[in-house]
Structures are given as structure tokens and as C-alpha cells.
Amino acid sequence: MEIFSIVFMLGLAAMVLNANAQRKRLAFLAGHLRPYQIEKQMESLIDGYLRALGESDPVRQQQVWGTLSTIEQSLSDQVARLAQDLHRVDATQTRMSGVPLQALLADKLPDSSVLDLRALMEVHAQGVAASARHPDDETPEARKQRAFMMTAELMLMQHSCHWFCRSLALASARLQAKHNTPYRQVVASVSQATRQAYTRLTSFPL
């Protein structure tokens, strides 16, 4: 009974400490996001995609796509600047891992068991930038496919932010709850370049 009580108290203490670490990470990331409108533009873009895909009038649909292209470029520029901002902070502040209490333990784990949010954001910035580019003669079908890919790129970036602040499991659960999309499906839906770079960074022994 005494051993059970000790284990229970240790577990409770770890949960409290991890919650405090999560709050610090949330504040850290929120501070870097504050100068930008990334989340607002992400919502506008995804809502706009749904509106464009549901538009039956080709002329009106093309007008909506044109407006969304402007938002895509603005969002791409902001994500690139965010990635640059994060590279200015110390590496000890951006460590993350796939272990359950990663917010608490990431700075104590060996380098082989952690990854760097700065590197992940660079991958996301490149993926968003690539999805924002399009040829002048882009076909309607290609435009739809690019919208789907951009959506996946943004979802994966959002997942990385939640992973850094909380944990891999909680980030994946939130992705499923908010977008009804499994984590693995999002990874499979981004561009090949993003997927290769992302899996290379996140494939480490746990």
C-alpha cells in the first residue's frame, strides 16, 4: 500500500510538472506567433477552399481561387518569417520528443531521442511555399489538387505546433477530433518533398 502511494504521488508530481512545462511552451510559441496572422489566414484559406470547391459557376469559382491565391502567398511569407524567427532562439528551447511527457523531459533526453521544432518549421515553410506556387496555365483539376495538398501541409504544421506544446499523442488526437483526419493520412497527403523531409526528422528511436 505504501509503495502504491509513493508511485501515485510521483506520478501526480510528474503530471503537475509536465503541465507547467506545457504552459511555458504554449507561451513561448504564442509569443513567436503573435506578430503574425497565421492561424487566422489558415482558417480563411481552408474555408475558402470549401467555398471554391462547392461553387458551381466556373467564373465565380475562378474569382474565388484568385482571392485564395493572394492569401496563400501571404500565408507562405508569414510561415517563412516564423521559421526564421525560431532559428534565432537557442536550441534548448525548441527540443521535442515522442515520449508522453515530452514537454517535461525533452531537455533531459539524449539527442538521438529528440528533434528540433526549428527544423520542422523549416520543412513546413518550404512545403507551404511550394504549394503556394502555381503555373499561369494551371488547370482547374490541378488547382483543386493543390488546394488539397496545401490543406494537408497546413494541418501537419499545426500538428507539429501542438506536438511541441503538448505531446505527439495529444496533437494526433486533436487533429482527428478537429478535422476528422488521422495523423498518418495527413502525412501521406502532403507533397513528396515534405513527407520525405518530415519522416527523416521524426524517425528516431524512442
- Tens place of pLDDT per residue across the chain (206 aa): 567 665 555 565 677 788 899 999 999 999 999 999 999 999 999 999 999 998 888 889 989 999 999 999 999 999 999 999 999 999 999 999 999 999 999 999 999 889 999 999 999 999 999 999 988 889 989 999 999 999 999 999 999 999 999 999 999 999 999 999 999 999 999 999 999 999 999 985 54
Judge whether 141 lies within some domain.
yes
Structural domain total, the chain: 1
Here the cell at position 169 is 499523442
Structural domain includes residue 14 = no
Does residue 122 fall inside a structural domain?
A: yes
Give me the pLDDT at residue 206, please.
Answer: 41
User: In sequence order, which ranges of 58-167 are alpha helices (DSSP H)?
Assistant: 58-86, 102-105, 117-132, 140-165
Q: What is the pTM of this model?
A: 0.92
In a domain, 2, yes or no: no
| Domain membership flag for residue 125 | yes
Backbone angles phi, psi at 115, to 5 degrees: -135, 175
Domain housing 103: 29-202
Q: Which residues pair with 95 in a beta bridge?
A: 116
158-176 core/surface letters (b: 16 or more CB in 10 A; e: else): bbbbbbbbbbbeebbebbe
163 domain residue, yes or no: yes
Q: Does any domain span residue 35? A: yes
